[in-house]
Amino acid sequence: MVDFKKIALKKSATVKSLIYDGLRIIEAVGVPIDDLTPRRLEKMSMAFLALCSITNRNQWINVASISTDHILGTRQIIRFINKSFEESISEGSYDDIRRKDLIRLVGMGLIVKSAKNPEADNNDGTRGYALSNEFAELIKHYNSDAWETMKNAFEIDQDYIDKFVGKREKTKLQVKMRV
């Protein structure tokens, strides 16, 4: 469970509530976040919100996705965050967006990679990121009466979560000892 008292401490009430909403959505779909620092949670939420193209709590119905061609590169994500969420992150931190802020969301298939060349490397300059259409459809219902029903019907990548948290099936061997 996210401890919101330690997140976005220096933000305006509007930005803070938006960051909290982002984290509530991320947590609701099962993204493993327990081991992240408050600042990392804040940055993950802001990167997620940039890909949603959300700057106001009343915009969830208009969330962007891959089908709306809202595909952002990591530097574009930083620009969006700086402009919309009272930040001044250096564009030189673009690799942190990919390696730290989006990695879990991409691993679960909630955010998809996009590039002019589908076989492009992760650090290819044409690489962009967007919300998957399925995840965007769920997010459209955030803060509505249908949210709980939609969330419960949303299929998460349990295999990714199990691998991430180190769950595995243990094969048991029967051992007989001779005395």
* Residue matched to tokens 């690799």: 95
Asked whether residue 173 is domain-assigned, the answer is no
Give the 3-state secondary structure of residue 57: helix
* Residue matched to tokens 């976040």: 33
pLDDT in tens, 102-132: 999 998 899 998 865 556 676 666 789 999 9
Asked whether residue 80 is domain-assigned, the answer is yes
Reported as a pLDDT band with limits 50, 70 and 90, residue 95 is confident
Looking at the structure of the chain, the number of domains it has is: 1
Count the alpha carbons within 13 Å of 15 in the hemisphere toward its beta carbon: 17
Asked whether residue 176 is domain-assigned, the answer is no
Asked whether residue 157 is domain-assigned, the answer is yes
pLDDT in tens, 122-179: 666 678 999 999 999 999 999 999 999 999 888 876 666 666 555 556 677 777 778 7
What CATH code is carried by the domain that includes residue 33?
1.10.10.1820
CA gyration radius, the chain = 18
Q: What CA–CA distance (Å, rounded) separates 67 from 35? A: 32
Q: Which of 126, 125, 129, 85 is nearest to 111 (CA)?
A: 129
Sign of CA dihedral 39, 41, 44, 46: negative
* Residue matched to tokens 């949303």: 154
| Residue ranges making up the domain that contains 21 | 4-165
